[in-house]
Copies of this chain bind each other. A is one copy, B any other.
Amino acid sequence: MLTFLDALKRILVGRPEITGRVRFAPLRRRVALPTLASNALSSVAYAPDEILLTLALAGLAAIHLAPWVGVAVMAVMAVLILSYRLSIRAYPSGRGDYQIASENLGPRAGVVVGSALLVDLTLTVAVSVSAAAHYLSAAVPVLAGHEGWVAGVGVALLVVLNLRGLGRGSLARSLPTVLFVVAVGVLLIVGGLLALTGQLGLAPSATAPLAPAPAYPDGIEGLAGFVLVLRAFSTGSAALTGIEAPISGVSTLAAPRAKNAGWVLAWIGVIATILTLGVLFLASATGVRLAAEPESQLAAAAEAADLTAASQTPLLAQLAQAVFGPGVPVIVLSLVTILVLLSAGMMSFLTFPKLAFYLASDGYLPRQLRTRGDRLGYSNGILLLGAAALVLVLATGAGLAALIQLYVVGVFVSFTLSQAGMVRHWGRLLRGTAGRSLRAALHRKRALSFAGFTLSALVLIVVFATKFAHGAWFAVAGIVVLTLGMLGIRQHYDEVDRELAIDESTSVSALPSRVQAIVLVSTLRKPLLRAVAFARATRPQVLEAVMVDSDPEKTARTVTQWERLGLPVPLTVLASPYRDLAGPLLEHIRQSRADRPRDLVVVYIPEYVVGRWWEQLVHNQTGLRLRTRLHFEPGVVVASVPWQLASTGHGLQHPASTPAPADPGHPAA
């Protein structure tokens, strides 16, 4: 079994690499921009859709608000980016918000930020791959209705790529973003020119008679309408995720790192704003109508079925059709969009394991997350992220509408706490600074961070208020559980550290006074003789063979055979009226140790090692279960004496597997 799994692993993962072998050159800022922008820019492929879908619940009148909701989202982005540029200069280590919150607000705040980011990175993968699956199924109709499985395959693909360490080069990471920006740019320019000359066509869904959903009988009027606009805003805030990428990626940049990262961040903001607003205005100009609940909203239309399909087609695909007509451009744009979405997923697969590594290094996550795999990626982090994202896309059937409700909670928890941390940071610097102009600069910085904090806290409240009941509670629960889990793990590690640390009182030369060896007898065959021989070779002060009598007939047979063989070791038989193996043995060991508590007891257990997996099933797993029980007993060492059966490929033919004749000078135990 081992060999089969090993072979499978080699095929999927490739040959192992030597530690420290793979190094990437520092990124110049023009390369860094597309490399770090994929997450932030790829949201152009789904955030405008979600704004339109949410507003459409209130009917036709509402969707004209979409561009203005977009403007509000971009305004928040502008403030956050300005404030983040300060954060990057102050914390250019690459540990990002986790470090800022830990150092300024205490380690617990840091753990909350860590949990929030882990949850959001997982959702980035789920959302990006699900969106990619929808673009793919819009282009390849036979896949429609199976988006969940398509997305599942996508996640698996990302896991394998990352375990192999592929797609980490700057070309592979930057090309999809460049292509996407160029493609959407061309779309917007051509669309804009056509609009100016009055030749812009309508989108396929433009004729849909969009009625308000039953929950919004008054359309956009009244309190319900107002809350819906807020909800569209908080859903559209998905466009803001990814702007934290430059602060975690700062360590990969060329010097001057912080300055370059600030430049990258600014350009991400500019490009994201142009693309998002451009798409929203073009959607308005071509009359795109997306229906969140087609059954009720399109019921009035005669050709409801066709319109339902049209109103579910992703926005960029509809725009491409309106601008270029059906054909090649639509397919090219869809492909490029799929690429950039997968690229955003790839980025999460780099960031999540790195964050998990930092958290594990600080003792908040299991140490296994620090291990580098065969290809030098943090394999356990990659597998963990892949598993979580896979569960999400399969459970929702790649349901973007559902996933988007869970999204951005984490990112805004992290923004809010990190901006609060920055306010503290500047305050602390202020207390230690004297010069007037220096103090004025710090005051300005603190004011900007405070603005960022206030705004992100406000958005967080809006997000909570409008999305909690729609699914955000699940993300919140995830963050809470992760936070508590991490604090618990840290506490456990701290306890273990205290318990196991070597201090002055620890004696390094203390030894047990005597060694008592016990050979466990079950069937009298060669492996048992080997166990007896090995136990004798260690020359313990006391050596006995012990048999637990769970089957009187077999016990009698074994005792007779033992005497006939003339083994130079006394055989003790322990009664076991309840046919239990471990109980009587533990009782026996405790009795021996009660007399001499400083003795060391070594229990030798003969074990069969088989070569084929099914052979394992037909041998009693007594040894394994017994070892688990004995491990709880202080002062007892369990020594497994393996016997390699012929099927392992070792075994009898090996010269060393049978013990040599006794050294005549050896004292028998």
Known contacts A16-B580, A502-B565, A533-B512; is-contact A650 B662 (Cβ 8 Å):
no
Chain B contacts for A16, CB-based, 8 A:
578-580
Residue of B nearest to A367 (CB): B620
A509 an interface residue at 8 Å Cβ cutoff?
A: yes
Are A634 and B656 in contact (CB-based, < 8 A)?
A: yes
Are A525 and B510 in contact (CB-based, < 8 A)?
A: no
Are A662 and B597 in contact (CB-based, < 8 A)?
A: no
CB-based closest 3 A-B pairs: A598-B660, A634-B657, A500-B525
Chain B contacts for A17, CB-based, 8 A:
578
* Bound CA span A313–B652, Å: 66
Are B515 and A502 in contact (CB-based, < 8 A)?
A: no
CB interface residues, A 625-649, toward B, < 8 Å: 627-628, 630-648
A568 an interface residue at 8 Å Cβ cutoff?
A: yes
A507 an interface residue at 8 Å Cβ cutoff?
A: yes
User: In the complex, given contacts A16-B580, A508-B567, what are 6 additional A-B residue pairs having Cβ atoms less than 8 angstroms apart?
Assistant: A16-B579, A502-B525, A512-B533, A512-B537, A597-B656, A632-B648
Chain B contacts for A643, CB-based, 8 A:
500
Known contacts A631-B640, A643-B500; is-contact A566 B598 (Cβ 8 Å):
no
Known contacts A508-B567, A600-B534; is-contact A634 B661 (Cβ 8 Å):
no
Are A529 and B506 in contact (CB-based, < 8 A)?
A: yes
Residue of B nearest to A489 (CB): B618
Chain B contacts for A639, CB-based, 8 A:
602, 637-640
Chain B contacts for A577, CB-based, 8 A:
18-19
CB interface residues, A 485-507, toward B, < 8 Å: 489, 492-493, 495-496, 499-502, 506-507
A133-177 vs B, Cβ < 8 Å mask (1 yes, 0 no): 000000000000000000000000000000000000000000000
Stretch from A113-121, A323-331, A368-376, A416-424 that touches the partner: A368-376
Are A656 and B598 in contact (CB-based, < 8 A)?
A: yes
Chain B contacts for A513, CB-based, 8 A:
660, 663
Known contacts A650-B632, A654-B634; is-contact A367 B579 (Cβ 8 Å):
no
Residue of B nearest to A590 (CB): B656
* Bound CA span A152–B495, Å: 45
Are B19 and A578 in contact (CB-based, < 8 A)?
A: yes
Are B638 and A492 in contact (CB-based, < 8 A)?
A: no
Are B366 and A617 in contact (CB-based, < 8 A)?
A: yes
A599-612 vs B, Cβ < 8 Å mask (1 yes, 0 no): 01010100111000
Pairs A–B under 8 Å by Cβ, sample size 17: A19-B579, A367-B619, A499-B646, A501-B526, A507-B659, A507-B662, A508-B565, A509-B568, A510-B658, A511-B536, A511-B662, A598-B656, A604-B637, A609-B631, A631-B640, A635-B656, A637-B641
